[in-house]
Structures are given as C-alpha cells and as structure tokens.
C-alpha cells in the first residue's frame, strides 16, 4: 500500500498542536512526533517504509500553488491532481461526512477512516483510561 500525505495535512497538524484544545493538541503532537521519527525518509523524492510494508510519502505543494481556504476542498484538489499525475486511482481516507459527500460529487474516491482512529474512539479510550486511574 502507498500512503501519500499532502503537506496541507502536516500544516494542519502543526496548527492544531498550538491552537487546538488540549486533546487536539496532544493528538496533533503525537502524529507529528511519529512523522518526525521518519523525517529523513520523508524528504522530497523519497518514502518511508512502515512496519507493515506500507510506503509513506509527503506530497508537497508546487511553488505557485494557492491553497483553498476550505481544507476539504484543498484535499480534494490535491487528490484529484495526484490522480492525474500518477495515472492511477487515488482514495482519500476520511471520517468526515461532509468530505465524503464532496468526494461523491467530484471524485476521486474515499474510504472511511478505520474506527480505531476516529475522534470518538480516542475520546472513549481517554475517558476509560481516566476512570481506570481513579
């Protein structure tokens, strides 16, 4: 499997790390730490190989790219461009219903975020951990 992460996602994590709620800040920080561990492998033109054999790449914006203010629209635009560039189907992974509707209307395709990575699953786990520590 090949996982391509648009740079706008990393930028959003950076923003959430400093501007989000405590929970969001922690989640963003954890994700960024995991990406930093692979930092040298994630340079332009290279890919990190994860434990399960998945390759992880960062998709940088072209120098003159003007981002859409709406992150969903930006991700959809990046997915569509990537699909044209590589000449193969691209699947956007999302747990956001609005994003799913946008993809249904415009393409390319989507897969639902696995439950174990959803915000609700994290909240339930943290609440359970907090109860266990009492």
pLDDT digits (tens, 9 = 90+) for 63-96: 999 999 999 999 999 999 999 999 999 999 988 8
Residue 70 lies in a domain: no
Q: Domain limits at 87?
A: 80-134
Specify which residues 108 forms β-bridges with: none
pLDDT at 122 over 60: no
Residue 114 lies in a domain: yes
Token code pair at residue 47: 């890919």
Residue 65 lies in a domain: no
Residue 118 lies in a domain: yes
Per-residue pLDDT band for 107 (boundaries 50, 70, 90) equals: confident
Pair 91, 53 in one domain: no
Pair 53, 93 in one domain: no
Mean pLDDT for the stretch of residues 42-59: 91
pLDDT at 18 over 60: yes
Pair 2, 56 in one domain: yes
Pair 121, 91 in one domain: yes
At residue 48, the 3 state secondary structure works out as: strand
Pair 49, 7 in one domain: yes
Residue 127 lies in a domain: yes
Pair 2, 52 in one domain: yes
> What is the count of structural domains for the chain?
2
Contacts of 79 (CB under 8 A, 6+ apart): 6, 90, 92, 103, 108
CB 55 within 8 A of CB 47: yes
């Amino acid at each position: 499997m090949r996982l391509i992460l648009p740079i706008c996602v990393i930028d959003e994590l950076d923003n959430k790390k400093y501007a989000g709620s405590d929970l969001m800040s922690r989640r963003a920080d954890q994700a960024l730490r995991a990406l930093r561990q692979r930092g040298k492998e994630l340079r332009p033109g290279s890919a990190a190989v994860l434990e399960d054999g998945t390759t992880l790449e960062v998709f940088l914006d072209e120098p003159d790219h003007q981002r859409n203010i709406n992150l969903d629209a930006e991700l959809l635009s990046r997915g569509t461009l990537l699909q044209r560039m590589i000449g193969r189907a691209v699947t956007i992974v999302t747990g956001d219903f609005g994003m799913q509707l946008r993809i249904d209307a415009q393409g390319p395709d989507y897969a639902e975020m696995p439950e174990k990575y959803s915000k609700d699953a994290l909240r339930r786990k943290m609440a359970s951990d907090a109860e266990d520590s009492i």
